[in-house]
Amino acid sequence: MPHRGHNRAVIAAAHALLRMAYHVLTSGTPYHDPGLDYFDRRHTARVTRRGVQLLERQGYRVTLDRAA
């Protein structure tokens, strides 16, 4: 997928901040930081698939077993 440019990324970040500020101001609740691994926790299957694909591109054979 081609890059869309710096200005588009700035607008997307500003829009996310604006939505967050609107939610905090309208609901009256304090802001709660979701953490650095928010998207990893939210999209675990996607993160796992990308990791497996990366290893396979480097020539590894990957078998996944869920840890206890």
Query: What is the rounded CA–CA span in Å between residue 23 and residue 17?
Result: 10
Q: Are residues 26 and 9 in the same domain?
A: yes
Q: Are residues 44 and 60 in the same domain?
A: yes
Q: Are residues 26 and 43 in the same domain?
A: no
**For 22-31, what is each residue's pLDDT tens digit?**
999 999 999 8
pTM, rounded to two decimals:
0.49
Q: Are residues 26 and 6 in the same domain?
A: yes
Q: Which domain holds residue 5?
A: 1-31
User: What is the number of structural domains in the chain?
Assistant: 2
- For the chain, the 3-state helix, strand and coil shares in percent, each to the nearest 5, are 60, 0, 40
Q: Are residues 1 and 20 in the same domain?
A: yes
| Residue 34: pLDDT band with limits 50, 70, 90 | confident
User: Residue 40's CB: how many other CB atoms inside 10 A?
Assistant: 12
**For 48-65, what is each residue's pLDDT tens digit?**
999 999 999 999 999 999
**Is the pLDDT score of 68 beyond 80?**
no
Q: Are residues 23 and 42 in the same domain?
A: no
